[in-house]
Amino acid sequence: MGMTMTQKILAAHAGLPEVRAGQLIRARLDMVLGNDITSPVAINEFEKAGFTGIFDRSKIALVMDHFVPNKDIKAAEQCKQCRTFAKRFDVEHYFDVGEMGIEHALLPEKGLAAPGECIIGADSHTCTYGALGAFSTGVGSTDMAAGMATGEAWFKVPAAIRFVLTGKLNPFVSGKDVILHIIGRIGVDGALYKSMEFTGPGLSSLSMDDRLCIANMAIEAGAKNGIFAVDEITMAYIKDRVNRPVTVYQADEDAVYEQTMEINLSEIEPTVAFPHLPENARTFAEIGEIPIDQVVIGSCTNGRISDLEAAAAIFKGRHAAKGVRVIIIPATMAIYKEAMKRGYLETFIDAGCVVSTPTCGPCLGGYMGILAAGERCVATTNRNFVGRMGHVDSEVCLASPAVAAASAVMGRIADPRTL
């Protein structure tokens, strides 16, 4: 019986000839990730367990991104604890103010995730790196602590759902619309503890940024991980980033899937997920006149250069509607610099937007864009749960950068195809 891509990666990292869905294994890790919120808890557990060393200084990444630059004393103390730990053990990949970025944009950019690797992170959106053909998943801080010390983690091998992509994306449609469409079809628990495996001829129309966005939100369907078949686009992306040997795993022809779904990319339209779940997805045929108070364009889901490009194209020569606050957050310093070179930052500022240093801040209701009671935000983030971005009586609508920018200009949730 054949194996899926995820099962092949897990088998290789467990030193086993094969694994099956439901099997418990102990697997070797290629990268352990933490941020300024989850790492302090992991460090406390690391010290409580009596560990005196880390397994590999080059295979741990600590990214200060949630409340950085620090928003208050507690945030400063958390970063100090991470900084002290990184210095003590000479952690190679420690990223702080001026060098940091939103973790799930930064690691691929820095070549710290690659095809065939096994990656854990104490952040639920660690599943992002499946876009590169890696097995990557979020874990708790205790698992992160054990991973930093031993270089291993326990997993239950997931079953899989195969998504066969056909067709190609239409103008103003992106990876964000694809994943919102899929979650709208299967629900927020439609892939519970399963691997979402993306393959098919439609992959050729998805950029790496599209794939990173889709894999990032696999967790919003309850998935253990999302993973894309490796192709020429993948290899071109890692060519000048990854300087170590990589192993590409392909699913066997007789791999077992719990379900196969065909997704025709040509049929997908700009999509918005309404409160309070990502599965509450609607197209513009179902959307009326809905006013907004704020727009956030950024996050580990949609803060990459193509996202800023899509937003800038709409803001060019236009201005945000009166009364709408617009916050633009490039996901890394390199993206920030490239956006500056291309003139996007000037476009945003001229349109009445504010541009922030890289941070997760508003996405989790931390800072840099908190909502008051009764306010509504269109955000390119990944979650719209009750109170996610501020007051429990506020609302978050998830959308692509194109939809978010169009909404900012119109002062209501707007279809970018109509501008």
Nearest CA to 272 among 299, 292, 245, 246? 292
Residues of the chain with CATH 3.30.499.10: 5-265, 272-414
Omega before 13 within 30 of 0, i.e. cis: no
CB 65 within 8 A of CB 36: yes
pLDDT given at position 35: 97
CB 7 within 8 A of CB 19: yes
pLDDT given at position 139: 96
Q: Return the DSSP state at 274.
A: P
Q: Write down the residue that tokens 């609508």 correspond to.
A: 397
Length of the chain, in residues: 419
376-407 pLDDT, tens digit per residue, is 999 999 999 989 999 999 999 999 999 999 99
Q: Which residues of 329-361 are buried (b: 16+ CB within 10 A; e: fewer)?
A: bbbbbbbbebbeeeebbebbeebbbebbbbbbb
pLDDT given at position 359: 95
pLDDT given at position 1: 78
Superfamily of domain 5-265 in the CATH hierarchy: Aconitase, domain 3 (3.30.499.10)
The amino acid that residue 252 corresponds to is D
Strand partners, 304: none
Query: How many Å apart are CA 5 and CA 252, to the nearest integer?
Result: 8
Query: How many Å apart are CA 413 and CA 286, to the nearest integer?
Result: 12
Q: For 272-414, which CATH class? A: alpha beta
Low-confidence ranges of the chain (pLDDT < 70): none
pLDDT given at position 409: 98
CA 342 to chain centroid, in Å, comes to 24
